[in-house]
A = this chain, B = another copy of it.
Amino acid sequence: MMTDKMDNDMTEYKVDFFLSAAECNAQQEISLPLLAQRLIDISTAHASAIGVGYEHLLKDNNAWVLSRLSIELTRFPSINKPYSLVTWVEDLNRHYSERIVELRDDLGEAIGYGRLTWVAINIVSRRPADLTPLLHKVTPSNRRCPIERHPRLGSIGIPDHVTMYKFQYSDIDFNRHVNSTRYIQFILDRWGVSHYDLNRVSRFDISYHAEAHFEDVVEVRCKGDEETQDVEIARDGVVCTRARIKFCPRSLPIIPVKN
């Protein structure tokens, strides 16, 4: 993360980044898993800054869990350029917080939004936590987010494509679960490089239902067409994650340079 700047009232929180070459995908844009990670990171950082971070919840044996994430962009940040994220809380109650992240390009223009639903759970009982004592610390912003709310992602029924995967050491994150962004990689890998040269992700929705762990074997079940694909990732019949990915044709297809 780079420089942190904040409003005086801390309602909004901004972080500036620089997209290095090593962080880019084959289309020389930010990869979707990295963007998702950045949205998670800035949520965490803002929550900590206003006194409702992991460390504050942990005092009552509570923790934030990412429940749903949606990303919609008109353009992706591109290689060797700065970009910024600005986050605020749109809505909250004693069980969850709905957070928005605005993505800005190197000129400060908004080029997309992320919408994240964070649920608080008690880590002992695994039941929903009661955030009432913390609610006064959070000032939701009046700014609205122009992208649609999370869709309800139901069962996909009979998939038309299934792959298996066994989670390895490098898939596991700091809290011993499968890293939330790894699921996004599986979904992206359903297509080849040339599909991404002609099309870009226009919208991505994911919901997290159950954690997966080291050495779990999952089925990645997909259904849809080249434009919209629904995905279900399940272990032993338990759905860990549901997602929907939508593509639109690029106005300027990418012609790879032979290197």
Contact = CB atoms under 8 A, between A and B. Distances in A.
Interface of A: 1-3, 18, 20-26, 28, 31, 33, 37, 40-41, 44-45, 54, 63, 79, 123, 168-170, 172-177, 179, 181, 185, 188-189, 191-193, 196, 214-215, 256, 259
Identical chains in the assembly: 2
Contacts of A196: 169
A63 B259 CA distance: 10
Contact of A173 (B24, B37, B40, B174): B24
A15 to B, nearest CB: 10
A174 B214 contact: no
Given A188-B170, A214-B192, A214-B193, A22 B41 contact: yes
Given A1-B2, A2-B3, A169-B189, A176 B256 contact: yes
A214 B54 CA distance: 39
B44 A170 contact: no
A170 B192 contact: no
A196 B168 CA distance: 12
Given A192-B214, A259-B123, A170 B31 contact: yes
